[in-house]
Structure 1
Amino acid sequence: MQRSHLSLIRVGGMGSGTARCFCSESKPCKRSRVQFDEAEYSGEKACLFDCLPDDIVLSILCYLSASADCPSDLVSVMKTCKRMNRLGKNPLVLEKATLKSISIRVENWSPPAHKFLKRCVRAGNVEACYLLGMIECYCLGLRGDGCHTHTRKGLSYLLRASRRGHAAATYSLAVIFFNGTGMGKSQENLSTGFSLCQRATQLGYVDAMRELGHCLQDGYGVAKDVPRGRRLLLDANTRELAVSRSSRPVASAAALPGEGSSRSEYCYLHSDFGCDVPAPEVHPANRFMAEWFQTRQNLGESVRLCANANCSRPETRRFEFRVCSMCALACYCSRACQAVHWKTVHSAACTAAIAARRVRIFNNALARFE
């Protein structure tokens, strides 16, 4: 029978220096009697949790932080008592916090949440570095007040995560240098972006492999090499397919998603493998950006986002992103996002938009003759 440490309390009448475990049984368990120092606890009732050393409590909190599924798992424990609150802020606990335990939603964003992420960054949490770097660079950096300061802080956080081998942070820095995010069009550095993209590819990041493959095929920032770019795209598709098959079954091209599931929920492989794999889960940083600017657009602010739903990066200046050359309605932060969005969603939407525009032009011309 499992019994919590909090259920072991001092009971009068049981004899000095003993503790009794209150469980569901009618009789006390003789094996549950615990000896402790009588001089240390002179009260009639004392909680044995207070006599646990901080090292044991820290080890428990570290395990909880490394296995939490949502921020409330860790926050609720820290709100238990002052000791838990103090030990929960220990760098050892914050360093082991998982991405799920620090993924903050827009509706819960506040100065204390911002301070908590900064504390995790100072503790050396790589995921917190990436998450806070994206928020500082793309969300807080566009508000107007101290925007350049937030952008510089975001870049420093992303650089710190990249130096520690975080693949997503390395690829985000590559996109920033490709577009000159927060710096201006004259500050675009294609060679640095290509080098960072190569580094993210070596770390096994699929989006970086796609971007690098398209850069080689188009000769963007590097000498044109179509065969090498094609091989990188095939490698990216192979890796994506392997990850998908290891996590869930993959449907064949003939067996398209069933009724009730939209085409956008599936990510079609760029190669000729003929498979539809489920779309990857949106990263909390990208989800935060999408929710952040959706709220701002409802308030009347106009910001163009990357049309790829798994990205949702915003423009930091006008005409920063590339647009679809056919309909000019969708914009993209990278070639990889454009290719993925074209395969999953935009090919049908773009064709419909072009057809509607042709009909509108024909009707206008016909009205002039009438």
Structure 2
Amino acid sequence: MAQIQATAQVMDDGMNSTASEIPAFLGLTQQQSSLLVALYNETDPEFAQKLPTAMPIAAQQLSQEYEKRNSVAKKLERANVKYVDECTLFETVQQEAVQALSETDMDIDKAAKGLDLDEKNKDCSVHDLLLGSLLYGGLRREPSGPEDRASLSPVASPNFAGAKRLLERAFEKGYTMAAVQIGSLYTQEEKLASGKNLPGQDPKKLALEWYTKAANKCNPMACHKLGFFYENGIGCKQDIKRAIEYYEQAYEQGYPDSAHNLAIIYQGNSGATVNIKDLEKSISYFERAKQWGYAPSSNALGRLYLLMSKDSKVAADAGNPGNDPEEYVITGMELMENAANSGDPDAMLMLGLIFGSKEYGLYDMAKAQNYMELALIRGELEAYNYLVRILRAKMAAKVALEKENADTFEKLSQSDKEKLIRQLAKEAATSTSTATATSESGKHKKCGNSGCQKVEEEENSFKHCGQCQRVAYCSRECQKEHWKSGHKTVCSSTSNGGQ
């Protein structure tokens, strides 16, 4: 949460959101978003006010950082300089196209002024062909309605045929990335429109055809895509042997995704790959991809080490790369934490689960919450349910502490206080019942409204919430204010046992 709170610090401290005003964010429903804010209102009221804006901003920042680390240019760093230069040219032309359209108020003809794209001009540069293709091919037809996703496909462009022809001419001049781009256009058609813009044709097969043309010129990106197509039977019959061949070609030029996919294949976890299972080879590919900065490989390797800590047969099949189960756990956690620090959402989710359980003896609720928050803002919606449980456990721990004798608690050392809080939260996290806030003898309660600091002068003088009986208030006004600021959502969900 520290990373999210750092983002929140730049925002207006006066911003406030009631449950009814909270918009949906991070792909959650409005109900889920409201519940999350309400739970933070109970556990971290100051941050709760900034949550609906802070989390999306953090998500955008982390996404941009991850994309930068995993850009095509980064993946081609070890490839033949020809393909590095081709990628650089394509990225440069993309920026030029955006700038030209911006400066001409999206007037394509004005943006393309000065480009000699005539078919008869054999001296037309690859640069101009690419720029023309991007400018004219970027136009989309008007959608027939809000559900018309097919209109978003590049193949739906009224200029698609002409734009494609410009790319073909660039490929004929030796620019292999043009064939990759054509293949990608057909791949997008399949993804967005399921071939609706190409009646009688199969965009998957067309994509395969163009990737093959680029792969025949040794383009590593095309080789990787072909490996993926053959591995999964996309536009062709599944052929693991051919998939490995194409992945190997890309791997030889340092393409990290191919190293990762080869490692997955040699894990032998599917019916198509079980006969070629080789964990030692799998680990070597994971290691290489990790060295090349590919976070998913670090995560997958970490999970494999954790598996070896529990299964000696798996460790033996892998060549016993460690000395004992404890070493496997340490290595596995380091690898997964490296992956999480590099922005891998699955690693964040898994670390949240590990730190939130007793499985490896690493229980740490603060770390579990932090990783679940990071996983959620990186798009792992599964993290939402776990985060809700953690926040509810913290609430229950807080209530349990309020039931303890305050004087006794204050006499504890700081480490013992923290230990008690962790233990109570741990018990609450695994408990099926919700802690209640009924008064105990000698306990003077604090008003449940986070904006009020009043404490009971006489035992049991504050009135409890009539529904959950968990929170007490000094006045009707404070109860109303707390209800509006989020207790309504928490109280209802706690009483109903739902999420």
Q: Structure 2-normalised TM-score? A: 0.37
* Greater fraction helix: 2
* Greater fraction strand: 1
